[in-house]
């Protein structure tokens, strides 16, 4: 098996990073907007998934700025 040093964060850490409440974090995970997985009752979110999520909204924001010009 490959050793892919997978860095994961908890719901609490996700809430701090995105500055959202727990309900919003759970909604993002359950809807599939943000990729994560459950270990028992606890959610774990790969840091790469959070970076992609943030990046996708950064790109959308840039598109809107260009349309205004």
pLDDT for 62: 52
Cβ-based neighbours of 18, under 8 Å, separated by 6 or more: 24, 25, 50, 54
Provide mean pLDDT across the span 58-64. Answer: 59
For the chain, give every domain's residue range: 8-68
pLDDT digits (tens, 9 = 90+) for 12-35: 999 999 999 999 999 999 999 999
Q: Are 35 and 45 in contact (CB under 8 A)?
A: yes
Q: Which two tokens stand for residue 4?
A: 């892919």
pLDDT for 58: 76
């Amino acid at each position: 098996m490959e050793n892919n040093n997978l860095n994961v964060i908890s719901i609490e850490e996700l809430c701090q990073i995105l500055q959202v409440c727990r309900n919003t974090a759970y909604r993002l995970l359950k809807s599939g907007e943000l990729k994560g997985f459950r270990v028992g009752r606890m959610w774990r979110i790969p840091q790469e998934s959070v970076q992609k999520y943030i990046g996708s909204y950064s790109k959308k924001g840039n598109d809107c700025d260009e349309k205004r010009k």
